Amino acid sequence: MGKDFNRHKLSDYENECLRQAIQEIVTEHKPITVRGIYYQCVLDKRLPFVTKDSAGKLRNYRLVAKRVLDLRRIGLIPWDFVVDPSRNHYSKHRWSRPADFAEVAPYFYRKDYWSKAEWRPVVLVEKDGQVAVYEQFANSYGVDVWSCHGYGSATHLWSLAEYIKQTQQNIVILVCADWDPSGCDWPRAAEHDLSVHLSSHRKEVVFQRVLITKDHVAALGELVALRAPNDRDPRVSNWLWENDYSPNDEVVVEMDAIPPKQARLEVGVVIEEIMSEEDIDLSKNSELERQERCKIETALSLIER
């Protein structure tokens, strides 16, 4: 009989392997969500005892989440390496004197690298929980990240449309979404709704899917496939037909299953291609941004003199 990986208690050796793997995963892929860490543990060949949960069970996810929390509490994982965008805060930045504000104010300034470009990229993720995984990285290219909430938020799409109107540019929306009937269909619905909001916008808006694609699913394999799609979902039959799947194929893969470092790299490649086409020099713009921040700091530092 094979080893029972479904038991609840890990051996000391397994616990140590899991601890080391989690620390390495977080260090390599930060910022990363807890669910992202779980998926990387599932894919890690050193951890055969951590498998994908199925049938609504969360045993292995909770196992990983508990170890992550323990490692953060004892200081082996910095708290800000693991992101939880579902936890909002509403505090405001405050300073005791202008000179203190002058030290940080320049970092609120961001140069618009794309102001003279014909096409401007925007990263659109399916879930709020993915925004923090891509936001800081995308900002290094001067690109904004938006969440669509899948089919769920008309307000988000209206806000995105208002943002697009303000740019007065052609927009390439880089879609990052789950590989399932909903994740493959909501961009169509989003594109339709945006076209209604942008009826007066005289520029083009095109959607380009970056993550997850069928190639990613093939590379990841069934280790991270969640389940066969819900046959009661009206989108399922068309999706199965379009992708040549049988109803029993385990083909549903979440965005969190893609290693964040790899995902950011792939998004970056697409952004850099657009930058090249628009003749935007990233290093030159970054240096100009640094110089302009220095000017802001110098100007503000004179306030108390």
pLDDT of residue 86: 61
DSSP 61-82: HHHHHHHHHHHHHTTSS-GGGB
Of residues 273 and 214, more confidently modeled: 273
pLDDT band at 227 (very low <50, low <70, confident <90, very high): low
The answer to whether residues 138 and 144 touch, using CB atoms and an 8 Å cutoff, is yes
Residue 2 clears pLDDT 60, i.e. is over it: no
pLDDT of residue 85: 64
Mean per-residue pLDDT of the chain: 85
Give the pLDDT confidence of 230-255 residue by residue, as tens digits: 666 677 777 777 777 776 665 678 88
Give the pLDDT confidence of 184-210 residue by residue, as tens digits: 888 888 888 888 898 888 889 999 999
Q: Is the pTM of this model over 0.75?
A: yes
pLDDT of residue 150: 64
Give the pLDDT confidence of 24-38 residue by residue, as tens digits: 999 999 999 999 999
Least confident of 72-76, 134-138, 226-230: 226-230
pLDDT of residue 152: 58
Work out the angle at residue 228's Cα, subtended by the Cα atoms of residues 225 and 234, and round it to the nearest 5 degrees. Answer: 125
pLDDT of residue 49: 92
114-279: which CATH architecture?
Answer: 3-Layer(aba) Sandwich (3.40)
Percent of the chain, pLDDT > 90? 48
Residue 3 clears pLDDT 50, i.e. is over it: no
User: Alpha-carbon distance 50 to 61, whole Å?
Assistant: 9
Specify the amino acid at residue 153. Answer: S
Q: How many residues does the chain have?
A: 305
Tokens, residue 98: 């202008």
The CA-based dihedral angle spanning residues 45, 50, 55, 59, taken in that order and rounded to the nearest 10 degrees:
-170
Of residues 113 and 228, more confidently modeled: 113
pLDDT of residue 107: 82
pLDDT band at 182 (very low <50, low <70, confident <90, very high): confident
Of residues 56 and 146, more confidently modeled: 146
Residue 266 clears pLDDT 60, i.e. is over it: yes
pLDDT of residue 215: 86
Q: How many other CB atoms sit within 10 Å of the CB of residue 106?
A: 18
Measured in whole angstroms, the distance separating CA 93 from the mean position of its chain's CA atoms is 26
Residue 176 clears pLDDT 60, i.e. is over it: yes
Give the pLDDT confidence of 88-135 residue by residue, as tens digits: 555 677 888 777 787 788 888 899 999 999 999 999 998 888 888 999
Mean pLDDT of all residues in 133-160: 85
Give the pLDDT confidence of 279-304 residue by residue, as tens digits: 999 999 999 999 998 888 888 777 76
pLDDT of residue 223: 64
